[in-house]
Amino acid sequence: MASRYIYVFMSSLFVITAIVGFAPTSYELVSEVTSGQQPFPPFILHFHAASMSLWLLLLLAQSVIMYRGKPDTHKKLGLISFVLAPCILISMYGVEMLNIGQNVVTAPDIAPNQAAQYKRNISSALLIHGVSYLFFPVFYLWAILVRRKDGETHKRMMILATLVLMVPGIGRLLSVSGLLPDLGLNIIDARHFYLLLLIVPAVVYDVVKQSVPHKSYIIGIALILAWIVTAHFLWNSEWWLETAPRLVGIR
């Protein structure tokens, strides 16, 4: 029973991070829409917010259910993830394409230096969100494939799959509310630093209980670190600034 507490703690930590990160901007957006200062947001934004919220609540519920020792309920409720995971992927890509599409529409009518800034924004966004795009499906599918024969790996992979979705919330805590200091780091390095910090309690718990982190954490964090190092060196590099927009069809 005690060993399951860490998963309740981690899922609660993710939920709190998302609420504190998004609540202020969400409240402001709702206020501006109701007062007529802004138009009603596109459907994809609502779809994304709902998918992410339900995912976090599902993770928390599943953790509490297992903490209370009800594996049958856990298995039945877990079927919801088969729908939610694709919804998260679709909505993440949809929001990104919405932002890119707005840049494409605007770019022909603006000065060259402004067009260059739009391309820079797109290049930056792909690096910032890349850890989510790449590793959420990898960790989730890994968790699903081993769920019947390796429960220890399954639950850790679900934690890692959710961890990589926390980058936007961390970004708002850094750049919008300022609750987190950037420690003198650039935009992407600061986000990645706090992303790694979020997983520390789970890794420390493993070390305390079994002297070393579980192999799934070692592999998963190694993959995330590989992306972090790559993103660090690509950030603002001329090659990436020219290449990234082309990947999404912008010349």
pTM of the model: 0.90
Q: What is the 3-state secondary structure (H, E, C) of the chain?
A: CHHHHHHHHHHHHHHHHHHHHHHHHHHHHHHHHHCCCCCCCCHHHHHHHHHHHHHHHHHHHHHHHHHCCCHHHHHHHHCCHHHHHHHHHHHHHHHHHHHHHHHHHHHHHCCHHHHHHHHHHHHHHHHHHHHHHHHHHHHHHHHHHCCCCCHHHHHHHHHHHHHCCCHHHHHHHHHCCCCCCCCCCCHHHHHHHHHHHHHHHHHHHHHHHHCCCCHHHHHHHHHHHHHHHHHHHHCCCHHHHHHHHHHCCCC
Confidence of residue 82 (pLDDT cuts 50, 70, 90): very high
Q: What is the pLDDT, as a whole number, of residue 30?
A: 73
Digit-coded pLDDT (tens) for 56-70: 999 999 999 999 989
pLDDT above 50: residue 105: no
Tokens matching residue 220: 């998963």
Q: What is the pLDDT of residues 114-165, one digit of tens each?
A: 667 777 888 888 899 999 999 999 999 999 999 999 999 999 999 999 999 9
